[in-house]
Amino acid sequence: TTELIIHTLATFLLLYKLFLLTLKLAVVMWLLTYVGAVFNGITILILADILLFAVPPIYEKNKTQIDQYIDLARTQVNTTITKLQEKLPGAVKR
């Protein structure tokens, strides 16, 4: 009976994680519909191509400043996630 309970809980945990991943995908796809409504597909490809070749030299030139701001943003995000997980019942801990 204990094995059955463990297996059932593991199954529910997996289903919960899959549900959250599906929900995240749905939100991203919903946001992309608004991006697609504003820009044509070829425009998005051209902008991605420009960014692909422009970002690495800019990063190499300003590496220390960019890394500092990335660390600051990462700290803020982790703090916010921790606060939300403490307030939300049943939140998945990382």
User: Does residue 20 sit within a domain?
Assistant: yes
User: Does residue 92 sit within a domain?
Assistant: no
User: Does residue 59 sit within a domain?
Assistant: no
pLDDT single digits (tens) 38-54: 888 899 899 999 999 99
User: Does residue 55 sit within a domain?
Assistant: no
Query: What is the per-residue pLDDT for 93?
Result: 62
User: Does residue 33 sit within a domain?
Assistant: yes
Is the model's pTM score more than 0.75? Answer: no
Pairwise CA distance, residues 83 & 39, whole Å: 36
Pairwise CA distance, residues 70 & 68, whole Å: 5
The answer to whether 91 and 85 are in contact (CB under 8 A) is yes
User: Does residue 21 sit within a domain?
Assistant: yes
pLDDT single digits (tens) 11-42: 999 999 999 999 999 999 999 899 888 888 89
User: Does residue 75 sit within a domain?
Assistant: no
User: Does residue 16 sit within a domain?
Assistant: yes
